[in-house]
Chain A
Amino acid sequence: MTSRNAPTPTSAPGYDQSLGLLMNDVVELNSKSLFNFEPLRQKQEGDPEGLWEETFRSHKDSKPKGPEAISLDIAFPAARHVYGLPQHASDFSLKATVGNNISSEPFRLFNLDVFEYETSSPFGLYGSIPLLVAHNAKATVGAFWLNAAEMWIDVDKSARGTQTQWIAESGIVDLFILLGPTPTQVSEQYAALTGTTALPQLFSLGYHQCRWNYRDEADVADVNAGFDANDIPYDVIWLDIEYTNGKRYFTWDAAHFPTPEAMQHNLRDHGRKLVAIIDPHIKKDPAYYVQTEGEKRGCFVKDKDGQKDFDGWCWPGSSFYFDAMSPDARQWWAEQFALTKWQGSTPDLYLWNDMNEPSVFNGPEVTMPKDAIHFGGWENRDVHNIYGMLVHRATAEGLTARGKAAFGSDGDRPFVLSRAFFAGSQRYGAIWTGDNAATWDHLRVSVPMLLSISLAGLPFCGADVGGFFGNPDAELAVRWWQLGAYTPFFRGHGHLDTKRREPWLFGEPHTSRTRAAIRRRYALLPYLYTLFRQANLHGLPIMRSLWYEFPHEEAGFAIDDSFMLGPAILVAPIMEAGAQSRSLYLPGGSKWYDGITGEVMAGRGGEAQVAVDMDSIPTWLRGGSILPLQERPRRSSAAMQGDPFTLVVALDATSQAVGELYLDDGKSFAFQRGVFAHRVLTFTDSVLANAPYVEAAGKAYNPGNEVERIVVLGLPRGGKWQVHLQGAEARRLEAEPGPLTLRPGLPASALVVRKPGLQITGSWSLKFSSSVS
């Protein structure tokens, strides 16, 4: 460990020396000399109570190795803001947990199934990522302690920046300091350690409709038809635990789901998918094949003596827990997803892993006892926080194997949603923020929670739209759909006891608003999918804090009620009942265009107050961006595949803009062998050009989609603009003033090029010229 007087690392390559920063201004290790650890010892007479055994309520932790804790301290002397350490239902910029007049527990990292969790709490929730990011106007740095044991982190803020103390219950110090110094470099450095996001299937970026529970096949068919009848797009309908035969996963309740294959075929014929839940607890029932197989093969977690399979209570009652720590058990688990194995499954069925903290209803803190034994003799104490991720992994691997069996070597990318997560979960699929509630507080806290998870390298995340517990009124529900449309994972969900809330059930005018929000999401899919490709290549988040995009603007450091979706869209959701206006911060130095009207935001950034109504969620397009959209409403992402594109060019103050588009089959692993199209779009010197993205040029993917409309915002006013295709096939294109969005009553704020007759994946350039200059 390094002392304060002998600061660690040498200067990092690429470090912005012009900022005149010294390394010891950025991060210090052990400056408070809190590095300490409990040496392993022999049990002795007269050891203090609790050293070798602890009790919690009726639970006893046998602590066979005695005390094993490790502590260390990391200071960020120049940073007043630190972020990360998900998952907590609290502010994005972490509040101090020690200091004058502060009575807070430290941030806890311990995966737990928390019933009706509270907001503004440092308490541990379903997932844990021990990554802390410190940021100031000059530099961004990260500290990542790879340790899956329970961890507590104190945050102390003073004039000297931020000091943090970390204590892990067991394990080793495997600490990584990420030197940045830019936010994206921190993301890349962290991704180099833990991996980047798996590229999801396109369908999984659409809208998901879930409920505990869709009752039977007729219910599923009705909801599916309801979306069409109401002309609302969606891609996936979900089945919660009730579809099973008595909570025996991999089985179907024969009374309510007698023909699961036909049900999935009906969805498939509408371009849609089914997701079913599979949890890691396996009902103890000698007549249940998964239980007997797992038992025979030794695939379950053992109790503290390491002999008997650990028996805990969950949905099915007495259950065994699949030991995801064991490679062989993961292999066994993955095999369960084979189409030949799981009766009633089809290639259109995808997965959901819940309760994988794991949740044990009769365990301490509703989880597994810390002295339960995993593969390799590890106590749950040592691996607790990684367990859920390994369940997620095994399921994703099962689907990958299934895809290769069904479709050949290009296979089928898995989709698995998990509740528990750890550093690295991004490689296996999506996560969500667990069992939230239908309250405005939970709507509000979802933004900082998702920002925090996203910053910690796990961009495919979302919160249950509508709130899991309780019944949202129409206003809250609409606001939630409006926000959810701009979050990476977009799923409506509700508890068994709640009223039905499919998007049309609140009636008009709410249905139209919800339809508009969900359609907006679908229009943005090409942009969103491109962001996922960047996450897949470089580990960048998709939902980003303002400071992530504008790292020098201190006014944005504490903002967590608005966010950036990628680099180009600022989202300022409405999260108050009865709101008629909201204040927001538009970073200066940029030009901002209203996301619907295309009108330029007056002034040059800073605090602004905007009027709002129930119809829209305030969004701004950042000047200097080019967005690829597919604006035709469809019933699903699959139905959009052949649709033409719209390019929205939002010019900055110097009349320039840049954007990109990534396209592939949206489904298979063929992109890994280069079957994709990645384009870069630029607008400079009055020329809009479409060229290959140099960094990762693809080959042989040209689906032939046309560009139907090019919408340019921010051209100098006054002249009559002409647009010409340049090159061998030079011709003049039709262009006239028009609205940004095809909706009645909007101003002609843009120049709209009509049917340019170009392919989205083609290389071309258009010259814009004004007759009067």
Chain B
Amino acid sequence: SAVTGTLRGVDPALAERYTSKGSSFKCFDGSKSMPHKRINDNYCDCIDGSDEPGSSACWNGRFYCRNRGYEPKVVNSSMVDDGICDCCDGTDEQPGKCMDTCLEAGAAARAELKARTAAAVAGARVRDGYIKRAKIARAEWDAHLKRVDMKHAEQKKKADAAKAKKEAVEAAEKQEREVREAREKVEREEREKAQKEAEAAKQLEESKLSKVEPQDSDSVTSVASSGADQAGAVDTQNLADEVAAASKAANEVAQQQQQEQAAGQAQELDPDEEAKQRLAQWVHSSDEPPVEGAGEGAEEATTAGGDESAAPEAQDDDVEYVGEEDGEEILIHPNEPAPSWWSKGKAWVLSKLQRAPSSSPPEDAETAARTAIKAAFTKEQNKLTELEREKQELERKLGLDLGPEGAFMPLIDRCIEANVDKYTYSVCPFKDAHQKDGGAQTKLGGWSGWESNGSVMSFTNGQGCWNGPARSITVTVVCGQDEALMNVLEPNRCEYIATMTTPAACTPAVLSALQGDITRGEQDVLDHTEL
């Protein structure tokens, strides 16, 4: 209307309030009424600022600029007539002060919007693929988990059986030890007693030498020791019997095991087997290359992701595989063929064994058998642990919130990197984030979940800062044609933020919002031409 056309700073949606019939204008909060001439008279009459939409008189006023050719804007009254152009149409300042730059600003914004929309459309197509892959992956993980569950149940039985045998051996060994210790105790006591008697005799002799005739010291000793012998004899015999029984049992177990195992295996362990056992005490792993376990799932996921970035990652593994801060066990990358580390480890252990002077007497068959039983247990237990880990990993993946329709699944085994100054930042969604500086790397955090309605990935509990908190990073996820990490900043000490583009965030809602903006932008241009 004509009135709003002349009334500066009025939001068209509120225009009627200023033009209502009647003799007076009423503050929006109803606190006061006044003649219309007090509207925009550069004096604040309404405590809510409503009488001065077009001046800076009120402390809390809102100035509306139409910005034809671009989008409307509401600025604080503090910015009206302050000599600085805040609206692209320049209406917040006195005429002649500012140029109308809305068409240019609008054109730039529309071009940017178009580019963003194009990227979003492309991203949305990629996202459709992500979703399909997510469904397949999920089904595979489910199936895989079932297989692992079955294997796990079987392995549990095996491990339990091996454990029972091992415990029998340990019981036998315990008894043997007790017998041995008892015997040693008796022997020690005998020795001490003899020694005491010898000393007593010596003293006696010395005193006799000075006073009386010497007595036969041997007879004193022999009397004393024969008494001890008699007292200990029964116990020793009992223990010896027990040891024999245990030994027999152990032999039986060993024989049984040997039968169970591939026939014809030599009683003595071959050096490789022994090395494996020794290695098993150092490193926690199965005795086989872990090709069928966790590796399978990971491989599937990687392949499904159709993603090449996994390849360079594998090269890092020699560095990566020792758990760095938390003292975790060694992790073995699923894609890495086991023989490389296995043969290295074996060679190392063997060399140690060869170099070590063999001070202990050669093991008898029984000892070897027992060692074998224990080794068998370790082996079965390791297999079980490996399966448990595999199971946990699958369960973790299945439990992850991979976004609407699981669209973020393809990011599960990826790391997105950005170079900022001398650092490389690496964000591995659902896993962890690092800051790398040459060879050194600092953990910024482990996956802790989504924040802000699923638009921010949060990684917490990274490496502690000197005199500060544990590092953390929050990554805002936005729609983009492909994955990229940007705007990595550390606004607070050790609290990092970043933005990541990914097609996974190109949801229909994002697309339709962009389309809406484009439509509005087109309308803006029309408005401006109408002017």
A642 to B78, CA, bound (A): 13
Given A255-B421, A639-B84, decide whether A742 and B47 contact each other with a Cβ distance below 8 A.
yes
Chain B residues with Cβ under 8 A from A498's Cβ? Answer: 492-493
Q: Is the pair A634, B78 in contact by a Cβ cutoff of 8 Å?
A: yes
Interface-lining segment among B52-60, B150-158, B244-252: B52-60
Return chain B residues, CB-CB under 8 Å to A635.
78-79, 82, 84
Q: Are A632 and B84 in contact (CB under 8 A)?
A: no
Instruction: Note all chain B residues with C-beta closer than 8 A to A269.
Output: 84
B47 adjacent to A743 (CB under 8 Å): yes
Residues of A725-773 contacting chain B, CB below 8 A: 742-744, 754-755
Q: How far is the CB of B61 from chain A (nearest CB, A)?
A: 10
Q: A632 to chain B: which residues have CB within 8 Å?
A: 56-57, 59, 78
CB atoms of A643 and B58 under 8 A apart: no
Q: Which of A215, A496, A639, A742 contacts B82 (CB 8 A)?
A: A639
Contact call B79/A228, Cβ cutoff below 8 A: yes
Residue of A at shortest CB range from B494? Answer: A497
Whether A270 lies near B84 (C-beta < 8 A) is yes
Interface pair B43/A497, CB less than 8 Å apart? no
Query: Cα distance A497–B468 when bound, in Å?
Result: 7
When distances are taken between beta carbons in the complex, the residues of chain A under 8 Å from B43 are 708-709, 754-755
Evaluate whether A500 and B47 lie within 8 angstroms (CB atoms) in the complex, with A270-B84, A634-B78 already known: no
**Does A59 sit within 8 A of B, measured CB to CB?**
no
Query: What bracket does the count of chain A residues touching chain B fall in?
Result: 20 to 34
A526 on the interface (CB 8 Å rule)? no
* CB-CB contacts below 8 Å: B264-285 with A: none
A631 at interface, CB cutoff 8 A: yes
Q: Which of B83, B421, B467, B492 is A500 in contact with, Cβ under 8 Å?
A: B492
The interface residues of chain B, by DSSP majority, are classed as loop
- B83 engages A639 (CB within 8 Å): yes
In the complex the two chains form, is A497's CB within 8 Å of B59's CB?
A: no
Contacts of B56 in A (CB 8 A): 632, 634, 643
Tell me, yes or no, whether A499 is within 8 Å of chain B by CB.
Answer: yes
Most buried by B among A233, A255, A270, A500: A500
Q: Fill in one digit per residue for A703-728: 1 if any B CB lies within 8 Å of its CB, else 0.
A: 00000110000000000000000000
| Complex contacts, A411 vs chain B, CB 8 Å | none
8 A Cβ contacts from A235-258 to B: 255
The smallest C-beta distance from A503 to any residue of chain B, in angstroms, reads 15
Of listed A228, A499, A634, A708, residue having the most chain B CB within 10 A = A634
B76 on the A face (CB < 8 A):
yes
Cα distance A338–B43 in the bound complex, in angstroms: 45
Residue of B nearest to A232 (CB): B78
Residue B517 at the chain A interface, CB threshold 8 Å: no
Interface string of B454-487 (1 = CB under 8 A from A): 0000000000000110000000000000000000
Residue from B57, B421, B489 in contact with A708 in the complex, judged by beta carbons closer than 8 Å? B57
Q: Do residues B493 and A497 form an inter-chain contact, with CB atoms below 8 A?
A: yes
Q: Which residues from A are CB-within-8-Å of B421?
A: 255
**What residue in chain A is nearest B467 (Cβ atoms)?**
A497
CB pair A231 B84 closer than 8 Å: no
Within 612-647 of A, Cβ neighbours of B (below 8 Å) are at 631-635, 638-639, 642-643
For A755, the closest partner residue in chain B by CB is B43
Residues of chain A lying within 8 A (CB to CB) of residue B57: 632, 708
Chain B neighbourhood of A499, CB < 8 A: 492-493, 495
Within the assembled complex, what's the spacing in Å between the Cα atoms of A270 and B492?
Answer: 26
* Closest B residue, CB atoms, query A523: B59
Bound: A638/B83 CA distance, A: 9
Kindly state the separation between the CA atoms of A643 and B83 in the bound complex, as whole angstroms: 11
| Residues of B411-456 whose CB lies within 8 A of A | 421
Does B10 have its Cβ within 8 Å of any Cβ on chain A? no
Measured between alpha carbons, how far is A519 from B59 in the docked complex, in Å? Answer: 10
B59 touches A631 (CB 8 A): yes
Which of B41, B42, B56: most chain A Cβ within 10 A?
B56
Residues of A within 8 A of B77 (CB): 633
Q: Which of B128-144 contact A (CB under 8 A)?
A: none
**In the assembled complex, B48 has its CB within 8 A of some CB on chain A:** yes
Which residues does chain B contribute within 8 Å of A500, judged by CB atoms?
Answer: 491-492
Residues of B near A270 (CB, < 8 A) are: 84
Q: Is A67 an interface residue (CB 8 A)?
A: no
Q: What separation, in Å, do the CA atoms of A519 and B489 have in the docked complex?
A: 31
8 A Cβ contacts from A556-580 to B: none
B59 touches A271 (CB 8 A): no
Residue of A nearest to B81 (CB): A642
Assess whether B44 is interfacial by the CB under 8 Å rule: yes
CB nearest neighbor in B for A743: B47
The answer to whether A742 touches B84 (Cβ under 8 A) is no
CA distance A643 to B77 in the complex (A): 13
Within 8 A of A (CB), among B40-94: 41-44, 47-48, 56-59, 76-79, 81-84
Determine if A231 and B48 form an interchain contact, defined as CB atoms under 8 angstroms apart: no
The one of A231, A271, A496 that contacts B76, using a Cβ cutoff of 8 Å: A231
In the complex, which residue of chain B has the Cβ closest to the Cβ of A745?
A: B47
Q: Report A519 CB to chain B, min CB distance, Å.
A: 8
Q: Mark B155-196, 1 if CB is under 8 A from A, else 0.
A: 000000000000000000000000000000000000000000
Q: Which residue of chain B is the closest to A522 with respect to CB atoms? A: B78
- Cα A484 to Cα B263 in complex, Å, equals 89
- Complex CA distance for A270 and B79, rounded to whole angstroms: 11
- B490 closest partner in A (C-beta): A215
Report chain A residues within 8 Å CB of B467: 497
Residues of B within 8 A of A638 (CB): 83
- Chain B residues with CB under 8 A of A709: 43
Check A742 against B468 for contact (C-beta < 8 Å).
no
Q: Indicate if the CB atoms of B44 and A633 lie closer than 8 Å.
A: no
Shortest Cβ distance from residue B172 to the other chain A in the assembled complex, whole angstroms: 62
B81 / chain A contacts, CB cutoff of 8 Å:
642
Docked complex Cα distance between A477 and B353 (Å): 66
Q: Which residue of B79, B82, B493 has the most chain A CB atoms within 10 A of its CB atom?
A: B82
Contacts of B468 in A (CB 8 A): 497
Complex CA gap A215/B43 in Å reads: 42
* Docked-complex contact A744 and B48, CB < 8 angstroms: yes
Complex contact B83–A742 (CB within 8 A): no
- Indicate which residue in A231, A255, A754 contacts B78 across the interface (CB closer than 8 Å): A231
Chain A residue contacts of B59, Cβ below 8 A: 519, 631-633, 742-743
Within 8 A of B (CB), among A638-686: 638-639, 642-643
- Contact assessment for B83 and A271 in the assembled complex, using a CB-CB cutoff below 8 Å: yes
Q: How far, in whole Å, are A498 and B421 apart by their CA atoms in the complex?
A: 22
B84 near A496 with CB under 8 A, answer: no
A496 vs B493: C-alpha distance when bound (angstroms): 7
The CA-CA distance from A742 to B31 in the complex, in Å, is: 13
Closest to B47 in A: A744
A271 to B59, CA, bound (A): 19
Bound: A742/B489 CA distance, A: 41
Chain B stretch 1-33: residues in CB contact (< 8 A) with chain A: 29
Are A634 and B493 in contact, CB atoms less than 8 angstroms apart?
A: no
Those of A473-523 within 8 Å (CB) of chain B: 496-500, 519
Task: Specify which chain B residues have a CB less than 8 angstroms from the CB of A215 in the assembled complex.
Answer: 489-490
A742: B residues at CB distance < 8 A? 44, 47, 58-59
Min distance, Cβ B370 to any Cβ of chain A, angstroms:
59
Separation of A118 and B126 alpha carbons in the complex (Å)? 61
A633, B56: Cα distance in complex, Å: 8
Please name all residues of chain A whose beta carbon is closer than 8 Å to the beta carbon of B84 when the two chains form the complex. Answer: 269-271, 635, 639
A754 to chain B, nearest CB (A): 6
Residues of B with C-beta under 8 A to A743 = 47, 59
Q: A-facing mask of B486-513, CB < 8 A → 1, else 0?
A: 0001111101000000000000000000
Q: List 6 A-B contacts (CB under 8 A).
A: A231-B76, A255-B421, A499-B493, A632-B59, A633-B77, A744-B48
Binding site for A on B (CB under 8 A): 29, 41-44, 47-48, 56-59, 76-79, 81-84, 421, 467-468, 489-493, 495
Q: Other CB < 8 Å A-B pairs besides A631-B59, A635-B84, A744-B47, 13 of them?
A: A215-B489, A231-B76, A231-B78, A255-B421, A271-B82, A497-B467, A499-B495, A634-B78, A635-B78, A639-B83, A744-B48, A755-B41, A755-B43
The 9 tightest CB contacts between A and B, nearest first, are A639-B82, A633-B78, A499-B492, A231-B76, A744-B47, A497-B493, A755-B43, A500-B492, A500-B491
